[in-house]
């Protein structure tokens, strides 16, 4: 059965291994399946819920596109575009915000996490961005959306909004109700310095993450310095519950080798971390070094990247503008 897949990545700059294994590697696998129709969006409207440097944002949009292509997403077969160039996203988000309910948004846990203790100072955009996310998905009649654990709640909200719009206007299936594509077992990659924290570009120490533009020597050095514990590698998965750093590194290896945690634990049972880190560095360099070199090459070709975005914009705009026009007619405009 064919799938229409929509997914977005924020242009935050300095994309890292967590972004790659948590999302982009999965996108590549989905994009090469002949029956899948994939749309990959650089969600720059979502990015500005937090103040951005305008010059950096433009650079980061191109860098995200370069990363998509360097990782293996074919821009001829798939639509790649940036969200802000398609006005229908903002227009649909307003119409859907009139359908969404305050109580639904109040339950969104990610807002509470991102806003921190002083929620009064958070932007309205940060609060309501799950509605924009719903618009992103519903405009393209997506049947499936790749989601990690932290986005499942937002997709559930999207489904609720779609269903309510259909019900409010007595439409059986104007909006398709999208299904989640739950990502693989080890899609959530943690910090190299603290196995309980998600890998993030905002962490002060660069040693906490593998950046997608890191060279071979940098990758090897970061893995060598990655935090571990003094025990040998475990003999069962259950032992990892109290060993977050070991679980994180074994999980990375599993994702990179398209294996699972149980097989990886069995492969390295009783080994010391220095031996395992050599193997992990080897598979990391084999996978990431070609991507890193290609990203650096593509970033220098702004004209090529801008053409990819322009071509993607034309395709996406045609689909989304038709859908939002129908939405406007339904509500009475």
Please provide residue 108's backbone torsions phi and psi, each rounded to the nearest 5 degrees: -70, 115
The active-site residue, picked from 114, 184, 216, 279, is: 114
Whether 198 is catalytic: yes
**How far apart, in whole angstroms, are the C-alpha atoms of residue 133 and residue 92?**
10
Beta bridge partners of 38: 5
**How far apart, in whole angstroms, are the C-alpha atoms of residue 241 and residue 230?**
16
Whether 307 is catalytic: no
Question: Closest by alpha carbon to 174, among 327, 57, 328, 45?
Answer: 327
| Contacts of residue 39, Cβ cutoff 8 Å, sequence gap at least 6 | 4, 5, 6, 7, 78, 79, 81, 140, 142, 316
Whether 201 is catalytic: yes
97-129: buried (b, 16+ CB within 10 Å) or exposed (e) per residue?
eebbeeebbeebeebeeeeeeeeeebeeeebbb
The active-site residue, picked from 4, 58, 164, 198, is: 198
Strand order in the sheet with 79-82: 79-82, 36-42, 3-9, 144-147, 179-182
The active-site residue, picked from 3, 58, 184, 201, is: 201
- SS3 (DSSP) at 48: coil
**How far apart, in whole angstroms, are the C-alpha atoms of residue 75 and residue 304?**
11
Active-site residue set: 114, 198, 201
């Amino acid at each position: 059965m064919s799938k229409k897949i929509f997914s977005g990545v924020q242009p935050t700059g300095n994309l890292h291994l967590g972004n790659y294994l948590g999302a982009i590697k999965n996108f590549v696998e989905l994009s090469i399946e002949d029956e899948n129709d994939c749309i990959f969006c650089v969600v720059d409207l979502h990015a500005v819920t937090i103040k951005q440097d305008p010059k950096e944002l433009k650079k980061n949009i191109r860098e995200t596109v370069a990363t998509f292509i360097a990782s293996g997403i074919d821009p001829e077969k798939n639509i790649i575009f940036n969200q802000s160039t398609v006005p229908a996203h903002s227009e649909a988000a307003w119409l859907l915000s009139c359908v969404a309910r305050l109580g639904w948004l109040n339950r969104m846990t990610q807002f509470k996490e991102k806003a921190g203790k002083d929620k009064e100072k958070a932007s309205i955009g940060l609060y309501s961005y799950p509605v924009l996310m719903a618009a992103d998905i519903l405009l393209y009649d997506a049947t499936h959306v790749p989601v990690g654990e932290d986005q499942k709640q937002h997709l559930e909200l999207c489904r609720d909004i779609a269903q309510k719009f259909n019900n409010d206007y007595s439409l059986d299936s104007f909006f398709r109700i999208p299904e989640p594509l739950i990502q693989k077992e080890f899609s959530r990659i943690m910090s190299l310095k603290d196995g309980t924290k998600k890998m993030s570009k905002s962490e002060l120490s660069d040693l906490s993450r593998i950046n997608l533009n890191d060279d071979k020597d940098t990758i090897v050095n970061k893995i060598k310095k990655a935090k571990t514990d003094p025990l040998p590698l475990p003999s069962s998965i259950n032992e990892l519950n109290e060993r977050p750093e070991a679980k994180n590194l074994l999980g990375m290896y599993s994702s990179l080798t398209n294996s699972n945690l149980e097989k990886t634990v069995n492969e390295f049972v009783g080994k010391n971390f220095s031996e395992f880190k050599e193997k992990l560095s080897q598979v990391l360099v084999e996978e990431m070094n070609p991507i890193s070199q290609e990203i650096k090459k593509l970033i220098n070709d702004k004209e090529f990247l801008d053409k990819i975005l322009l071509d993607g914009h034309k395709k996406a705009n045609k689909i989304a503008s038709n859908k939002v026009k129908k939405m406007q007619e339904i509500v009475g405009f």
